[in-house]
Amino acid sequence: MKIRQISKKNYKMIIDSLRKKGIDPQLPKTKNVKSIVTKKGELIYVDDEPTIIYAGGEYLPFIGSLGRFQGLKKVVVDTGAVKYLTNGADVMRPGIVGWEEFNKGDIVVVHVEKYDTPIMIGRTLVDSKSLEEMERGKVIENLHHVGDVFWEASKREI
């Protein structure tokens, strides 16, 4: 496990990157920003709390810290989709039971219907208007989910 300090300048760049995606981080100004380097990217800690991930060349909210972010649209799936999503599958149309309006390419948080619990962060492959007309097909690309490498890394102390 490799830990690295993130500079104040890079931290500001990370915050700006999230804002450009319509995600509003409610994060403090701090010098205590570190990351754990994993096989798939980095898990970034702000004041010793896992907060942001860096994967696939982009910054995303860490699913365990969603209360620190505003502006994420919500998509709701049925409980039958949980085992697939937590194994890295993309969200398919038949599993979706509700959603807020979104555009193609938006970053969204996926919740489980029965518990209203977030289990995944993803990028939409279609817009919500197209979703209404779909009966099947991929709707959301799975970028980060409960149980992935970032989730497991968050259990470690740094």
Q: Which residues of the chain have pLDDT under 50?
A: none
| Residue 156 confidence (pLDDT) | 80
CATH of 2-69+149-153, one of 3.30.70.3270, 3.40.50.150, 2.30.30.90, 3.10.450.120: 3.10.450.120
Give domain 70-145's CATH number out of 2.30.130.10, 3.60.21.10, 3.10.20.30, 2.60.120.10: 2.30.130.10
Interatomic CA distance for residues 101 and 128, integer angstroms: 5
DSSP assignment string, 49-100: EEEEEEETTEEEE-GGGGGGEE--EEEEE-GGGHHHHTTTPPEEGGGEEEE-
**pLDDT score recorded for residue 1:** 75
Say what percent of the chain tops pLDDT 70: 100
Mean pLDDT of all residues belonging to the chain: 95
Q: What burial class does residue 74 get, using C-beta atoms within 10 Å of its C-beta: 0-12 exposed, 13-18 middle, 19+ buried?
A: middle
The reported pLDDT for the residue numbered 71 is 94
